[in-house]
């Protein structure tokens, strides 16, 4: 926990990304036929990298417990398997890290080449109040298929049973569940369903439309991966303020600010904060709502800068920052680099306990806000399971300083009184050419 990312692949001074793409291109061997020896070679390579570079592999479960789970997955590689089957096993493996920044993905063209794209459930979904809700339909238009309908069962399997088989493929920080329920939505549900439940030409859905107790059964055909495009959407879309950078004066004393990301490339965060907190000051706002429920993180420092407009209190952001013993070179030629230098202690690289405070803006060149722009009124922070990485760091700063009231659900990165440990990241898109 305690990471910030810029979109999916951005790495900052606390992040080391390892991009290893597994394309599984074998010497003329049919796509659906990978020898056990090759499966084990790839699997053992990934295990080796995780053990040497992922600080948190044994963070939440003991080494013995984790290794038993690894051995259990590895024992399934004794027979030839399809690339899709092997990808599923690797998803289970990555899930053992209990670290939400770690992921493994198939490139889109690989999904198409493998035939994976021909058998998708044509729906995007949303997990809401313990129910799986239809958000969009990209397949055949059915009058009964409405936005907001609850899915009861798929192909005679209750949704609860389906979800329990999919959740282990989604790595999250520790044993957090709110982010799993957020990330199961959209196209991700259809992909994971295909991996776990296999190829289907049709899907028998039992659904219950909002406000109607009647359960209806609909048989809908599968679609290709390429059908998941806006132009193919059958249901009316709906936008929400929390997905945009927004300032709104609700009334004479209340204002709302939405900050859905800390990694928007073309946004000048310093200017955005200055302009809006000037408005807040001039309007004499007494109650401020900051919405970060869609904020998945971004560039290191943007969350710290926002906090500095809400409090002049200096908060120790991390108790300690650690990583595996690999040379750290980023910004080494810049003045003041010594403040961020990693040192080896007992084979673990550590950064001092007093370097990352709430006024730490990395190398972004930000200035402290003018004192008159620091807001001291009532603060309310909207959070959700999508509030992750830098978004959750911002929420943690609010929590540690007891600055505001939270509305929503637990963030995707667990908020603690102190963020004890920051772990190295490996974002896996595996690539191995044979």
Residue 308 pLDDT grade (very low, low, confident, very high; cuts 50, 70, 90): very high
Instruction: With beta carbons less than 8 A apart as the criterion, state whether 55 and 424 touch.
Output: yes
**How big, in percent rounded to 5, are the helix, strand and coil portions of the chain?**
30, 20, 50
| CATH code, domain carrying 327 | 3.90.226.10
> What tens digit of pLDDT does each residue of 152-174 get?
999 999 999 999 999 998 888 88
What's the pLDDT score for residue 392?
A: 94
Per DSSP, the three-state class of 13 is: coil
pTM for the predicted model, two decimal places: 0.80
Q: Which residues contact 197 (CB under 8 A, 6 or more apart)?
A: 155, 157, 162, 165
Residue 22's pLDDT band (cuts 50, 70, 90): very low
User: Of the candidates 243, 70, 97, 261, which has an alpha carbon nearest to the alpha carbon of residue 176?
Assistant: 97
Residues 393 and 245 in one domain: yes
- pLDDT at position 344 is 61
Supply the CATH number for residue 134's domain.
2.30.42.10
Q: Same structural domain for residues 217 and 282?
A: no
Average pLDDT of the residues of the chain: 80
User: Tokens representing 331?
Assistant: 């910004």
CA 394 to CA 403: how far, in whole Å?
Answer: 11
pLDDT above 50: residue 388: yes
Structural domain harbouring 201: 121-223
Q: Are 270 and 176 part of one and the same domain?
A: no
* 213 within domain boundaries: yes
Domain-embedded: residue 253? yes
**260 and 372 in a common domain:** yes
- Output 202 or 333, whichever has higher pLDDT: 202
213 and 253 in a single domain? The answer is: no
- Is 50 contained in some domain? no
Query: Could you tell me the pLDDT band of residue 202, with boundaries at 50, 70 and 90?
Result: very high
Within a domain: residue 186?
yes
Is the separation of the CB atoms in 34 and 87 below 8 Å? no
Claim to verify: residue 206 and residue 272 sit in the same structural domain: no
- 195 & 135 share domain: yes
Q: What is the 3-state secondary structure (H, E, C) of 59-122?
A: CCCCHHHHHHHHHHHHHHHCCCECHHHHHHHHHHHHHCCCCCCCEECCCHHHHHHCCHHHCECC
Listed residues 197, 223, 249: the one ending a domain: 223
Residue 4 lies in a domain: no
The string of pLDDT tens digits covering residues 237-266 is: 877 777 899 999 999 999 999 999 999 888
Let me know if residue 113 belongs to a domain.
no
Residues 207 and 283 in one domain: no
Q: How many domains does the chain have?
A: 2
Q: Do the domain assignments include residue 326?
A: yes
Question: In this structure, what are the phi and psi dihedrals at residue 33, rounded to the nearest 5 degrees?
Answer: -140, 95
Whether 170 contacts 109, CB under 8 Å: no
Q: Flag whether 33 is in a domain.
A: no
Same domain, 197 and 246: no
Segment among 42-46, 84-88, 347-351 with least mean pLDDT: 347-351
Q: How far apart are CA 416 and CA 414, in angstroms?
A: 6
Residue-level pLDDT at 30: 41
SS3 at position 390: helix
Same domain, 188 and 331: no
Q: Are residues 162 and 257 in the same domain?
A: no
The last residue of a domain, from among 188, 223, 258:
223
DSSP string, 30-60: -TT-B-HHHHHHHHHHHHHHHHHH-TTTTSS
Neighbours of 56 (CB within 10 A): 21
pLDDT digits (tens, 9 = 90+) for 94-126: 989 888 888 887 777 776 666 666 789 999 999
Highest mean pLDDT among 33-37, 118-122, 377-381, 423-427: 377-381
* Whether residue 273 is found in the same domain as residue 347: yes
């Amino acid at each position: 926990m305690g990471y910030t990312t810029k979109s999916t692949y951005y790495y900052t001074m606390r992040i080391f990304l390892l991009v290893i793409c597994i394309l599984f291109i074998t010497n003329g061997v049919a796509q659906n036929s990978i020898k056990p020896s090759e499966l084990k070679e790839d699997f053992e390579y990934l295990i080796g990298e995780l053990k040497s570079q992922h600080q948190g592999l044994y963070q939440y479960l003991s080494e013995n417990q984790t290794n038993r789970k690894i051995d259990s997955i590895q024992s399934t590689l004794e027979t030839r398997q399809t690339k899709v089957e092997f990808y599923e096993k690797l998803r289970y493996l990555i899930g053992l890290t209990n670290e939400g920044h770690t992921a493994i993905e198939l490139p889109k063209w690989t999904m198409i080449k493998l035939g994976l794209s021909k058998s998708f459930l044509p729906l995007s979904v949303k997990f809401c109040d313990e129910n799986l809700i239809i958000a969009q339909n990209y397949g055949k238009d059915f009058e009964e298929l409405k936005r907001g309908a609850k899915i009861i069962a798929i192909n005679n399997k209750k949704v609860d049973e389906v979800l329990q088989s999919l959740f282990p493929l989604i790595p999250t920080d520790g044993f957090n569940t709110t982010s799993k329920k957020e990330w199961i939505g959209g196209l991700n549900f259809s992909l994971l369903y295909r991996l776990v439940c296999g190829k289907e030409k049709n899907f028998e859905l039992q659904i219950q439309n909002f406000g109607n107790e009647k359960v209806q059964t609909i048989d809908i055909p599968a679609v290709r991966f390429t059908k998941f495009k806006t132009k193919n959407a059958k249901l009316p879309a709906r936008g929400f303020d929390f997905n945009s950078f927004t300032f709104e004066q609700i009334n004479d004393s209340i204002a709302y600010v939405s900050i859905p990301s800390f990694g928007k490339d073309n946004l000048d965060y310093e200017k955005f904060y200055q302009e809006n907190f000037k408005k807040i000051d001039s309007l004499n706002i007494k109650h401020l709502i900051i919405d970060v429920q869609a904020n998945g993180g971004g560039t290191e420092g943007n969350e710290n800068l926002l906090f500095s407009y809400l409090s002049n209190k200096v908060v120790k952001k991390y108790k300690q920052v650690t990583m595996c013993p690999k040379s750290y070179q980023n910004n080494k030629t810049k003045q003041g680099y010594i403040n961020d230098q990693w040192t080896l202690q007992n084979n673990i690289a550590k950064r001092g306990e007093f370097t990352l405070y709430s006024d730490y803006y990395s190398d972004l060149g930000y200035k402290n806000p003018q004192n008159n722009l620091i807001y001291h009124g009532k603060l309310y922070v909207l959070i959700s399971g999508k509030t992750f990485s830098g978004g959750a760091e911002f929420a943690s700063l609010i929590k540690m300083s007891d600055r505001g009231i939270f509305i929503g659900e637990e963030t995707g990165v667990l908020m603690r009184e102190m963020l004890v440990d920051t772990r190295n990241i490996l974002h896996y898109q595996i690539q191995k050419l044979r």
